[in-house]
Amino acid sequence: MLILISPAKSLDYSIPEYKKHTLPDFTSDIKALVSVMKKKTAKEISELMHVSENLAVLNEERYKTFQKEFTTENSKQAILAFNGDVYTKIDVDNYSAADFGFAQDHLRILSGLYGLLKPLDLIQPYRLEMGTRLETKKGKNLYEYWDKKIAKAINDAAAGRPIVNLASQEYFKSVHLKTLKTPLVNIHFKEFKNGTYQVIGIFAKQARGMMTNFAIKNRLTDPEELKSFNEEGYEFSAPMSDGSDWTFIR
């Protein structure tokens, strides 16, 4: 199976102990987006991304200094650089070379700037959420920019294997569903609160990271094996699930 997850806004660019890396696939698309962002002022970035002045200034600097080549001096492996709620539950600090190797074959990260990332792809610091209404020659937002490219890349990476969606709605919307060629399973996590089961953002993000880590550490290759996931009180709910939408509750 091939697992899909979202990126994170938080980044950690401390020097990684694990040195092996690969390069992003969509180099020309990345360069085209960076060239659009390079022209934007901090004020324009603030309005575009709805971020504070400080964050806008930081990202103006990131794009102005973005390099054509990805090196270990200006970049870091995606799975090690992302540091948000999903990634704090992926125990990369204790991964072996075999764990990283399995992740590289069974995990992909959706990204507004990079399209689709392998875990060990080098990425330079950035912020560009998939839902950003960034106008380019290809359309009025990033969904139109990427069109069917991400789905086609997922097909290539999956190579006939089923796809497990652990990404957020904002990011998975970038995947053109009719283009996918293999079975898809969407995973949902719900908490029992106020007498009903509901999705709570931060817990759902953490659970996506936990399940990703569970699959990597246990070398799971069949989505059915994910039904045994029971970390931190979660369990698979057959009554709340169907063929392609699976719900885990606690």
Q: Percent of the chain at pLDDT above 90? A: 100
- The pLDDT of residue 2: 98
Number of domains in the chain: 1
Q: Please tell me the predicted confidence (pLDDT) of residue 102.
A: 98
**What pLDDT is stored for residue 196 in this prediction?**
95
Opening angle at CA 11, ends 16 and 226, nearest 5: 85
Cα 146 to its chain centre, rounded Å, is 15
Range of the domain at 127: 2-249
Below-70 pLDDT ranges, the chain: none
**What pLDDT is recorded for position 68?**
94
Contacts 24+ apart (CB under 8 A), 173-176: 173/130, 173/143, 174/110, 174/112, 174/130, 174/142, 174/143, 174/146, 174/150, 175/4, 175/110, 175/150, 175/151, 176/147, 176/148, 176/150, 176/151
